[in-house]
Amino acid sequence: MKSNKLIKNLSITFGVLILIFLIVEFAGGKKERNFKSEVVQVDTAKVTEFLLYPEANQHKEVKLFKDGNVWKVVVSGGKSVTVPYDKIKGLKQKLTELKIERLVSRSPKKWNKYKVDSTGTRVKVFAGSDLVADFIVGKFNMQGRRNFVSYVRNTDEDNVYLVNGFISPTFNRKADSFRNNYVMKADKNKWTELEFTYPADSSFTMTKDSTNNWFAGNTKLDSATVARYLSSVSRLYSSNFIDEFPSDFPKTPLMTLKIKGENGTEEIKCYEKDGKAIIESSYEKEFYFDGAKGKLKDRIFKGKNFFLKKENKKKKKSKKK
């Protein structure tokens, strides 16, 4: 009897131990798998600096930092220029989107396969002097027809993670891509007068009347042409930057466009020498734009004849004959 009771007690104890083992094994394993759901955990409100080492820039450092309430990027020559906040917002937003879909590899031998070694884009994030994130963005693939996935690794881990989304374009960028690239950005509907100043006697002024028609003197201008031009100039951009005004360039602009409206006056100037052109805009005061590249100068400075209705152009040609 005692033997049977002992066997029964041992069986119960053994069963309890097995149950505890199973609970620990399966619950613990599940906890381990779900413990890390994000590549990084960063309070983006506290971020003050990004150091990027983009593949697109031969892994040379791109520094973005907060200066008071303004973000800046260091460009060529060590000059710092303002970064539009929407571009910083994009970087911060992407930090919160690095959700782990699955663990791809634990082996350093696979780093190169996924480009999460020295061939990838390294990203360092600082909050004051504290390094709060340090990871590498590697290659990407497509899953299905529209879904992108990317490979990411924290620099202090062997693990390679698969995350949803096309991550590389956010961080794999040269310094110039973070600049303001608008030559002019304004509400064209608030404009009331455009004054074009050219050499000799080719200057003219366009004015808008109370019915939203545009005139050059007493000549009514073609509404469709004017509308297209205003749309173009009010959202005029270029990625061809000039940081320092050349010392051998004339200091007086060859052409000027002065835009007047309900929100004040904006001005675009063009300086020329030997077929080269430099554009200066009151909208962007930190640097200049190359007026020759992308035909920027030609997109801004139009002659009066460009805006005339077809019948007026024909009349003008017939008078010349």
| 31 CB-contact burial (10 Å; exposed 0-12 / middle 13-18 / buried 19+) | exposed
pLDDT tens-digit map of 91-102: 999 999 999 999
Least confident of 159-173, 232-246, 251-265, 300-314: 300-314
Number of helices followed by number of strands (H, E) in the chain: 7, 20
Whether 179 has a pLDDT exceeding 80, the answer reads yes
Q: Enter the tokens of residue 254.
A: 């060859």
Whether 32 has a pLDDT exceeding 50, the answer reads no
Q: Model confidence at 312, in pLDDT bands (50, 70, 90)?
A: low
More confident residue, 104 or 315: 104
pTM of the predicted protein model: 0.81
pLDDT tens-digit map of 190-227: 999 999 999 988 999 999 999 999 999 999 999 999 99
Paired with 84 in beta bridges are: none
Return d(Cα 260, Cα 284) in angstroms, integer: 17
What is the pLDDT at residue 142? Answer: 82
Q: What is the b/e burial string over 124-142, where b = at least 16 CB atoms within 10 angstroms of the residue's CB? A: bbbbeeeebbebbbbebee
**Portion of the chain with pLDDT greater than 70, in percent:** 85
Return d(Cα 153, Cα 117) in angstroms, integer: 9
- How do the domains of the chain map onto residue ranges? 44-178, 182-310
Q: Which CATH architecture has domain 182-310?
A: Sandwich (2.60)
What is the pLDDT at residue 145? Answer: 77
What is the pLDDT at residue 319? Answer: 53
Q: Model confidence at 147, in pLDDT bands (50, 70, 90)?
A: confident
Whether 31 has a pLDDT exceeding 50, the answer reads no
Which residues contact residue 67 at a Cβ distance below 8 angstroms, ignoring those fewer than 6 apart?
A: 80
Least confident of 6-10, 120-124, 310-314: 6-10
Question: Tokens 């041992």 appear where?
Answer: 10
The residue-averaged pLDDT of 36-62 equals: 95
Whether 318 has a pLDDT exceeding 90, the answer reads no
pLDDT tens-digit map of 38-48: 999 999 999 99
Whether 315 has a pLDDT exceeding 80, the answer reads no
pLDDT tens-digit map of 159-171: 999 999 999 999 9
pLDDT tens-digit map of 249-278: 999 999 999 999 999 999 999 999 999 999
